[in-house]
Amino acid sequence: MTDSALPENTATAADTAVVDPELRDRALDGILLLLPQVLKRELPEIGENACLFDEVGLTSAATLELILELEDHLDVQIDVEGIDPEDLRSVGTLAGFVAGHVIAED
């Protein structure tokens, strides 16, 4: 088998995590609510397919702030150790990541 025949691993952390659909919906709503606050400006109406960096204008620093605000908003702790750039591609992929990476309380 040649290298070109090997399957490419394109799974993101959100793809392999168990995602709670209710938590994903809450995370999606929270992201849409918190983005204008974090970016300190009004946003046009956006949906879950909106690209966080290109369309919305999220920066690395604002990403960290958004995740911290989401933790407070959802009253959860998010394990960001395995976050991948693909998990930050859109509002929906971030919501999926969040829903699949909540740290369980002891």
Superfamily of segment(s) 19-100: ACP-like (1.10.1200.10)
Instruction: State the pLDDT at residue 49.
Output: 98
- Other residues' Cβ atoms within 10 Å of the Cβ of residue 67: 19
Q: How confident is the model at residue 15 (pLDDT cuts 50, 70, 90)?
A: low
DSSP annotation of 78: B
CA distance 95 to 30: 9
Give 71-99 pLDDT, tens digit per residue: 999 999 999 998 999 999 999 999 999 99
In contact, 27 and 95? CB cutoff 8 Å: yes
For the record, the structure tokens of 89 come out as 């591609």
pTM of this prediction? 0.82
Give 27-58 pLDDT, tens digit per residue: 999 999 999 999 999 999 999 999 999 999 99
CA distance 92 to 47: 8
